[in-house]
Amino acid sequence: MAKDFTSGWDIESLNKSYRQGYIAGTMGMGRDRCPYHGEIIAASWEAGWEDGLDESRLKQSGNVRQSA
């Protein structure tokens, strides 16, 4: 498992924070609800949040994104 010991994150924690952000975005929660304080892990959460928010908006508009 690759781990960056200087900043305290690894691939699993980035994936987890992304998934949590994605769920928050699909639920319409605000960006200010990010529970992370570290710059990299918070950016991962925000990326998931943005993707979840986009997905939620697409579903509301009736334009469901097709998976490749």
Supply the pLDDT for residue 63.
Answer: 72
Q: What is the mean pLDDT of each run of 10 residues along the chain (68 residues)?
A: 59 97 97 95 98 94 67
CB-based contact 13:21 (threshold 8 Å) = no
Supply the pLDDT for residue 2.
Answer: 46
Q: Among 31, 30, 28, which residue's Cα sits nearest to residue 55?
A: 28
Residue 4 pairs in a beta bridge with 9
Supply the pLDDT for residue 25.
Answer: 98
In 1-68, which ranges are continuous DSSP H helix? 11-26, 39-61
Fold of 11-66: Arc Repressor Mutant, subunit A (1.10.10)
Supply the pLDDT for residue 62.
Answer: 84
* Positive or negative torsion for Cα 3, 46, 25, 28: positive
* Boundaries of every domain in the chain: 11-66
State pTM to two decimals.
0.79
Supply the pLDDT for residue 67.
Answer: 58
